Structure 1
């Protein structure tokens, strides 16, 4: 598969999940990243899932994305933030 090919057909709705420590800063950083890439992002539509002991939380957002570079950009910003432990 070449670099230009993708298993995902764009444009499409795509679910992105980020996990980090259950702190207000984690949520704030994740929301800022989503708003940077998706100005129409509505934080009220994000789904939160705390870990069993409440030490960690995940935030899941479904976005309409237009290209692989667009998707790669948000994943890179999530990874670079220092607050996100992993994303998928």
Structure 2
């Protein structure tokens, strides 16, 4: 739990100006979803807790020209990256 609090503080709370409790709760919900579904975790071989590790990409064309999309969350404080179809 201490690591989660440290990560939340370092990656979210130190970078945001929160206006009220409602805004804080919204930001924490967004961070929780980001943390569990998108953020890479070293202990899980760079996977997220609620997402399996993707299969390695062996297609030479996809390796040379990767098509990656970025989604900003919380006004750009958090970034999610994914392969575009």
Of Structure 1 and Structure 2, the greater strand share is in 1
The reply to whether TM is greater than 0.5 is: no
> Which structure carries more helix by proportion?
2
| TM-score, length basis structure 1 | 0.31
TM-score, normalised with respect to structure 2: 0.32
